[in-house]
């Protein structure tokens, strides 16, 4: 029977691997995380192993780090600590190389931050506080280098919680404050409330009453905006712990009543048990023995339903406990306090683990969205190029027909007349005196016609639109396709750009294409402004972006090309860094 089961598992695995071959690396990682979230860790490991094989085949170091980190979480959930440590060790081996640190992009920085957060969580579970704080600091350092604010808010919140569990209140305060600020910037009330609540606990630990009052006020402002029951439970439990530590029993009872009145809390027996178990201690301190006895009785009933053992003995102990002297009641309170402390530690560890998984899922989700945006941008760019190419070809065909007719009807006929004049016998009559046009006049006419045709050889876009309209159309298309905010302004707004020579207009268009492409593709810019302005006979084209020039690749060639274009039409071009922005400015005098 056992051999049959083994064969069935092998066959199922073979079928799964055949199906995985048709899926991409990103899809496999998402599927593994989804299986882990459903508690199917064996299946998650099978899928992750196939994803790791693909990543190794593609030599994708960043993906290898992330997959090993995720597999460590799956194995740790199964209790396979030794295997989990091997996966974490392999991920760390890659993360600590100079090549990884030097070439780390946004995706690599996120993977490293999540890896060290997972390691910090593992050491917290094992009560290795020094090691947990060390890895939390590494996670925070990598997180600070990430550009994604949502990811940073989650990372800093979890790093702060780990620092607090390790006794580093200063580090916890820094991380939680920054997480709160990021969450507020993103409008994430739930995450902001969680960070603010833990800041209340940090301020209480350090004895900073002014800071505690400030964070309590912020929590009060956010409380009404949060509807998630689990978030509100965690918030009230933190405040309860602070109140009970200071012996403010009435305040703690009011908070426990809030927890018990939340929608859906009845489906959280551990939370309800914790409330009654602590409420009995508060009532006992207030001398309300009957209420204390009733609360502890409810706690015991819940404990019996959860753990299903020693029910009768527990009830007998409770009866004796509240019939004897105050000394026995004090002993019961001490035991309850120890149990509450253990419960808080277990809940905190669980929250850190769940949040670490959520951070991983968020990273993969953002990465997939980024790939989809890149693919969409490529499709739109291809469509735009095809449309412009077709328009260009159509314009060329029309221009060819017009030029052919112009050359045939004008230049060819005039040249033929010149030929006839040259073959005419010498009569002593000067050219033009016999009523026929002179050869000189005909040659001059041919030259004028050829000059006019050469000046008309411009791209078809400029045959029906001025430079302002062409630039506005280009900016609108690039902004919609790239996801970057690109704007165009004409100064003054009613300026007439039809007087700009076609040659100058074409070079202005090409300079704008080069500058905007550098900003969007290479500098990581989120906003680009294109401004076309006139001051007297001076025309100025300015392209400003908020990207980082250090990220630009091939920027030297692009700038040299733009300067050559500017000089070719008698203009000048300058590139400078001003107020954290890159400014490209082309100036020409249109006299």
Give the separation between CA 397 and CA 400, rounded to whole angstroms.
5
Closest CA to 156 of 229, 146, 219: 146
> What was the pLDDT predicted at 20?
44
Question: Token pair for residue 190?
Answer: 């739930």
> What was the pLDDT predicted at 5?
41
Helix (H) or strand (E) holding 574: strand 572-578
Give the separation between CA 8 and CA 311, rounded to whole angstroms.
43
Give the separation between CA 278 and CA 298, rounded to whole angstroms.
11
Give the separation between CA 10 and CA 412, rounded to whole angstroms.
84
> What was the pLDDT predicted at 530?
94
463 secondary structure, DSSP code: G
Give the separation between CA 362 and CA 142, rounded to whole angstroms.
16
- DSSP three-state, residue 285: helix
Cis peptide before 492 (omega within 30 of 0): yes
Neighbours of 333 (CB within 10 A): 16
Neighbours of 96 (CB within 10 A): 11
* β-strands 538-545, 527-535 pairing: antiparallel
| Angle, helix 439-455 to helix 413-423, in steps of 10 degrees | 160
What are 578's strand-pairing partners?
581
> What was the pLDDT predicted at 19?
41
> What was the pLDDT predicted at 543?
95
Q: Averaged in consecutive runs of 10 residues, what is the pLDDT profile of the chain (591 residues)?
A: 35 38 74 86 89 88 89 86 87 88 88 88 85 89 88 87 88 89 89 88 89 89 86 85 89 88 83 87 88 86 64 48 56 68 73 75 78 72 64 62 66 70 61 62 72 55 75 81 82 85 87 87 86 91 86 62 88 91 91 63
> What was the pLDDT predicted at 214?
93
Distances (CA, A) of 174 to 130, 140, 157, 179, 183: 18, 10, 10, 9, 14
DSSP for 5-44 reads HHHHHHHHHHHHHHHHTTS-HHHHHHHHHHHHHTT-HHHH
């Amino acid at each position: 029977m056992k051999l049959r089961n083994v064969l069935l598992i092998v066959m199922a695995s073979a079928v799964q691997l055949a199906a995985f071959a048709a899926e991409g690396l990103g899809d496999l990682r998402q599927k593994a995380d989804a299986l882990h979230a459903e508690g199917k860790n064996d299946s998650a490991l099978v899928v992750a192993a196939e994803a790791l094989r693909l990543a190794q085949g593609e030599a994708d170091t960043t993906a290898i780090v992330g997959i090993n980190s995720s597999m460590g979480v799956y194995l740790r959930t199964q209790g396979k600590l030794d295997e989990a440590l091997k996966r974490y060790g392999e991920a760390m081996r890659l993360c600590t190389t100079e090549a990884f640190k030097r070439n780390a992009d946004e995706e690599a920085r996120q993977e490293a931050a999540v890896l060290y957060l997972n390691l910090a969580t593992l050491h917290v579970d094992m009560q290795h506080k020094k090691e947990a704080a060390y890895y939390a600091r590494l996670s925070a350092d990598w997180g600070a280098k990430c550009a994604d604010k949502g990811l940073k808010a989650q990372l800093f919140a979890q790093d702060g919680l780990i620092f607090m569990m390790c006794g580093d209140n200063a580090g916890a305060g820094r991380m939680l404050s920054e997480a709160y600020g990021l969450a507020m910037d993103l409008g994430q009330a739930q995450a902001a409330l969680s960070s603010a609540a833990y800041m209340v606990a940090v301020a209480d630990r350090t004895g900073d009453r002014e800071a505690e009052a400030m964070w309590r006020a912020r929590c009060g402002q956010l409380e009404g905006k949060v509807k998630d029951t689990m978030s509100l439970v965690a918030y009230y439990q933190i405040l309860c712990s602070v109140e009970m530590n200071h012996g403010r029993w009435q305040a703690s009872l009011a908070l426990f009543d809030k927890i018990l009145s939340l929608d859906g809390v009845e489906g959280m027996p551990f939370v309800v048990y914790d409330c009654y178990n602590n409420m009995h201690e508060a009532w006992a301190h207030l001398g309300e023995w009957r209420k204390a006895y009733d609360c502890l009785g409810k706690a015991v009933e819940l404990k019996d339903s959860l753990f299903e053992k020693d029910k009768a003995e527990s009830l007998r102990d409770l009866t004796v406990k509240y019939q004897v002297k105050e000394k026995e009641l004090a002993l019961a309170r001490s035991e309850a306090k120890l149990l509450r402390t253990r419960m808080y530690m277990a809940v905190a560890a669980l929250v850190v683990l769940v949040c670490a998984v959520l951070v991983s899922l968020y990273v993969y989700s953002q990465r997939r969205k980024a790939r989809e945006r890149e693919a969409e941008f490529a499709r739109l760019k291809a469509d735009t190029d095809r449309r412009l190419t077709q328009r260009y070809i159509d314009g060329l065909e029309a221009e060819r027909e017009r030029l052919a007719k112009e050359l045939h009807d004008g230049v060819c006929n005039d040249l033929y007349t010149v030929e006839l004049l040259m073959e005419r016998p010498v009569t002593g009559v000067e050219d033009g005196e016999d009523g026929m046009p002179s050869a000189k006049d005909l040659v001059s006419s041919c030259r004028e016609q050829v000059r006019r045709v050469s000046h008309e050889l411009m791209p078809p876009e400029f045959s029906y639109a001025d430079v302002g309209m062409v630039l506005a159309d280009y900016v609108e298309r690039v902004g919609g396709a790239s996801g970057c905010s690109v704007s165009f302004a004409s100064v003054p707004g009613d300026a007439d750009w039809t007087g700009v020579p076609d040659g100058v207009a074409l070079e202005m268009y090409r300079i704008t294409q080069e500058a905007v492409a550098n900003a969007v593709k290479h500098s990581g810019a989120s906003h680009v402004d294109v401004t076309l302005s006139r001051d007297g006979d001076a025309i100025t084209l300015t392209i400003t972006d908020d990207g980082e020039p250090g990220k630009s690749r091939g920027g030297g060639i692009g700038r040299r090309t733009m300067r050559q274009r500017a000089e070719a039409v008698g203009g000048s071009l300058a590139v400078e860094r001003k107020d954290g922005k890159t400014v490209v400015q082309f100036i020409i005098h249109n006299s």
